[in-house]
Amino acid sequence: MHFTGHASSSRGNLYLVESGSTRLLLEAGLPIKTIRRRLGWTLSGVAGSLVTHEHMDHARGAADLLRAGVDVWCSAGTAQALGLEGHRLHLLRSAEQCIIGELSVLPFATEHDAAEPLGFLLQDGTDSLMFATDTGYLRWRFEGLTLIAIECNFAGDLLPADMPEGQRARLEATHLSLASVKAMLAATDLSRVREIHLLHLSSGHADAERFRSEIEAQTGIPTWVEAE
């Protein structure tokens, strides 16, 4: 399994997972013209898109993908919030597995200010990828992971002292911090993990090189920061 980040910020999120003949998008947070450009101007061979929740930086292109004949998978809450419909729309529920091409997909509930947000565990018989973004914490624990793609949005010491308390509380409740990611990794069996990808860093409250180096130093695993 191969994971590639094409966009990862509050301006838009788009990732690609490839396994055998299956090419699956994670998120659709860019205009469809930009999605086409990032994929070499073609959607041919793309099995579809998994969308975590309805916020536009994750779902901006979802409706246009459906209109272009590309399947979209998301929760019922996300579909309703976006007004999505059609025979290429597939509804997911937390902890109910589905098969997309050569990939097994297990959705799991996350904690965000959205209708019914999800993360995804993707497996192909050899590799196991956990994908989690825009969540205050993870209630789930996974075994046998080989790839981890996880939000690392901010560091507490980089938040301004004069940040309004409501804004700080919302950020801490709905996004993973560097400290939270470190704690999650410390509680996870990393014995088979070969790559860690840090996603959705804040433009104002994050330090990409610091985050990468601290996670790599803690885990000993090659770590990348995904960005635009």
Q: Are 96 and 104 a contacting pair, CB within 8 Å?
A: no
Residue range 154-173: average pLDDT?
A: 95
Q: Are 20 and 53 a contacting pair, CB within 8 Å?
A: no
CA dihedral sign of residues 83, 133, 189, 1: positive
Residue 52, pLDDT score: 98
Residue range 41-67: average pLDDT?
A: 96
> Domains of the chain, with CATH numbers?
2-225 (3.60.15.10)
Share of the chain above pLDDT 90, in %: 98
Residue 126, pLDDT score: 97
What DSSP designation does 157 have? G
- The terminus-to-terminus CA distance of the chain in angstroms comes to 22
What DSSP designation does 113 have? S
**pLDDT digits over 105-123, tens only?**
999 999 999 999 999 999 9
Helix axes of 208-219 and 178-186: crossing angle, nearest 10 degrees? 10
Give the pLDDT band (50/70/90) at residue 62: very high
> Is residue 152 predicted with pLDDT exceeding 80?
yes
Residue 175, pLDDT score: 97
Residue range 155-178: average pLDDT?
A: 96
Give the pLDDT band (50/70/90) at residue 228: confident
Question: What are the backbone angles phi and psi of residue 76, rounded to the nearest 5°?
Answer: -65, -40
Residue 69, pLDDT score: 96
Residue range 130-152: average pLDDT?
A: 96
Query: Coil, strand, or helix at residue 212?
Result: helix
Query: Coil, strand, or helix at residue 154?
Result: strand
Q: Is 10 exposed, middle or buried, given 0-12, 13-18 or 19+ CB atoms closer than 10 A? A: middle
Beta strands in 11-134 (DSSP E): 12-19, 22-26, 46-50, 72-75, 89-92, 98-100, 103-109, 118-123, 128-132
Q: Are 17 and 2 a contacting pair, CB within 8 Å?
A: yes
Q: What is the mean pLDDT of the chain?
A: 97
Query: Coil, strand, or helix at residue 40?
Result: coil
